[in-house]
Amino acid sequence: MMNKLIFGRYIPGDSVIHHMDPRAKLLLSFYFIGIIFIANNWMTYLLLFAFTFLAITMSGVKWSFFINGVKPLIWLILFTVVLQVLFSASGGPVYWHWGIITISRLGLINGAYIFCRFVLIIFMSTLLTLTTPPLELSDAIEYILMPLKAVHFPVYEVALMLSIALRFVPTLMDETEKIMNAQRARGVDFGAGNIFQQMRAVVPLLIPLFVSSFNRAEDLATAMEARGYQGGEGRSKFRILKWHARDSWVTVIFAALTVALIFLRA
Amino acid sequence: MRPIIDVEHLNYRYPQQAKDQLTLRDVSFSVDAGEWVAIVGHNGSGKSTLAKNLNGLLAPASGKITVDGDVLSEKTVWEIRKKIGMVFQNPDNQFVGATVADDVAFGLENQGVARDEMLRRVPAALKLVNMQDFATREPARLSGGQKQRVALAGMIAARPQILILDEATSMLDPRGREEVLATIRQMKATSDLTVLSITHDIDEAASANRILVVNDGEVKEEGTPAEIFRHGEALIKMGLDMPYAERLKAALKRRNVQVPATYLTEKGMADWLWQLRSNK
């Protein structure tokens, strides 16, 4: 059950988007979030939506995953939209007015735009995580952080930490499950009682988990040292990322999208 | 035969221990190249400490360790670690890579081996331990025995001259244990690898050319498996295993729990334990 929560995220597939370089995907996803703010009329938002729909269709991932991505955030989105509608600078015909609350035409339009922005950002970042295995993302982050080596930021170490953390998530999940079962066998009822009782039930879960994690960390450090690990410098890399022609093409498409947006904006 | 490991008058004390307490006391022995030596002893007898001294994971209080002609010191420690591959007890806690192939490559990456070379060595090593079909698997989806075979592949890929197994099979089920032992026997047959295995397992000890019995931080006895096994009952005192259910029974008896006199399998033992308190 807990496994699905995190690892159900990556959906294996064979699309162009799945095969793209994770660096390209990561950078272009951030770039996309940036250019969303160029859009300021219906035409530009329509273009962005068309683009996103096309990308999602190409990925071959089911639509339900994207709708599910929006669901947990829907209240935050609606809250922001309502604030925008009620309190933003008014303009155009005013439909309703009470104290500092104003519903105007411009406010409504702004609210709709904000809603569109949220949905676009969530769809695009969901597309990134659904089509990229966590390990590839951590490799991409390593490459992207590389310039920070100039200011002595330990890029290799951080990347290794990230990959070890990812590798141990299922191990620790299993362990949690085991400890929960052991506590259940002794009569602990997780999920019963009020919130304080539930929180108290978590303590006998966390303490053994912490202790065993520290033991694991020590064992792992010993094993790494025995295998000659001396820090990030002087290591070669087994997993490397390759930039293909398709990654360049996708970058060109994003550039074209930017130009189109600038043309169409009001 | 030239000795590949030579230990002379090794003493070791853990930092938190008192001055007169030593975990290893005047340990001397040597291992010839190509030999398989088993080290047996009770829990806490100092056998794992001994193994960790050999590749400098722990620094001896005094004494001299020579590995393949190099005296162990701060200068030579990384060279010596290249020559010694070490497999530990817990299959999960030594799996560094996010996938099987990544883990096998970890030691090679540390040595700065070129990527082309790694692409040759990693699949070859996986093939040797019969894990070639699992190269892209994540550790969470492997059994304990498979993980230990991956750990062995990681050692093979780094081409050490010595393999140290620090209770490498103790957390495995009988099948996993047999898989790992078969792999080691096969490796041994095809190369002149030196194997030092620290173990409670009587099968593993029987595979060795020579057995060292360690007790209270001292080497108490040394001999071929045939010579050592002649001790019979006393084997248990040396730290070789009785079946798990029998050990549990003996431990319960010492705590004044009424135990059935008949022999119990592990399953039988579990059934009996469940009912122990319920019918009172």
Closest partner residue to A170 (CB to CB) among B52, B82, B140 is B140
Contact list, A225 vs chain B (CB under 8 Å): 57, 81
pLDDT of residue A7: 42
pLDDT of residue A36: 94
pTM: 0.79
Q: Whole-angstrom Cα distance, residue A229 to residue B74?
A: 15
pLDDT above 90 coverage of chain A, percent: 46
pLDDT of residue A244: 92
pLDDT of residue B72: 92
What Cα–Cα distance (Å) separates residue B6 from each residue in A178, B54, B66, B210? 44, 9, 5, 15
ipTM comes to: 0.81
Closest-approach residue (CA) in chain A for B118 = A238
Q: Whole-angstrom Cα distance, residue A123 to residue A70?
A: 8
What Cα–Cα distance (Å) separates residue B271 from each residue in A153, A182, B238, B267, B275? 57, 17, 30, 6, 7
CB spacing of B112 vs A225 below 8 angstroms: no
pLDDT above 90 coverage of chain B, percent: 42
Closest-approach residue (CA) in chain A for B158 = A227
Q: Does A234 touch chain B (CB under 8 A)?
A: yes
With b meaning 16 or more CB within 10 Å and e meaning fewer, what string describes A165-180? Answer: ebbbbbbbbebeeebb
CA-based nearest residue to B85, from B109, B54, B40, B41: B54
All structural domains of chain B with their residue ranges:
3-240, 242-280
All structural domains of chain A with their residue ranges:
2-133+242-264, 155-226
Q: Does A235 touch chain B (CB under 8 A)?
A: yes
CA-based nearest residue to B35, from B202, B219, B224, B238: B224
B197 CB neighbour count, 10 Å cutoff: 26
Q: Whole-angstrom Cα distance, residue B253 to residue B261?
A: 11
Sheet strand arrangement including B162-166: B84-87, B162-166, B194-198, B36-40, B210-215, B218-223
Tens digits of residue pLDDT in B256-278: 888 776 666 677 778 888 888 77
CA B122, distance to chain mean position in Å, is 23
pLDDT of residue B262: 67
Q: Does B79 touch chain A (CB under 8 A)?
A: no
pLDDT tens, per residue, chain A with 266 residues? 344 444 447 888 889 999 999 999 999 999 999 999 999 889 999 999 999 999 999 999 888 888 888 888 899 999 999 888 887 766 777 787 777 788 888 888 889 999 999 999 999 998 998 999 888 888 999 999 999 989 989 998 998 998 898 889 888 988 999 998 988 888 878 777 788 888 888 888 889 999 999 999 999 999 999 999 988 778 888 988 999 999 999 999 999 999 999 999 87
The structure tokens 């790694």 sit at: B118
A28 CB neighbour count, 10 Å cutoff: 19
Tens digits of residue pLDDT in A215-230: 999 999 999 999 999 8
CB spacing of A238 vs B112 below 8 angstroms: no
| Identity of the amino acid at A221 | A
- Give residues with Cβ within 8 angstroms of B68, minimum separation 6: B4, B80, B83, B161, B162
3-state secondary structure of A30: helix
Measured between CA atoms, how close is A227 to chain B, in angstroms?
A: 5
Contact list, A236 vs chain B (CB under 8 Å): 108-109, 111-115, 118
Q: Does B137 touch chain A (CB under 8 A)?
A: no
Q: Whole-angstrom Cα distance, residue B199 to residue B239?
A: 9
3-state secondary structure of A95: strand
User: Which residues of chain B fall below pLDDT 50?
Assistant: none
- One of 3.40.50.300, 3.30.70.20, 3.30.43.10, 3.30.1280.10 is the CATH number of B3-240, namely 3.40.50.300
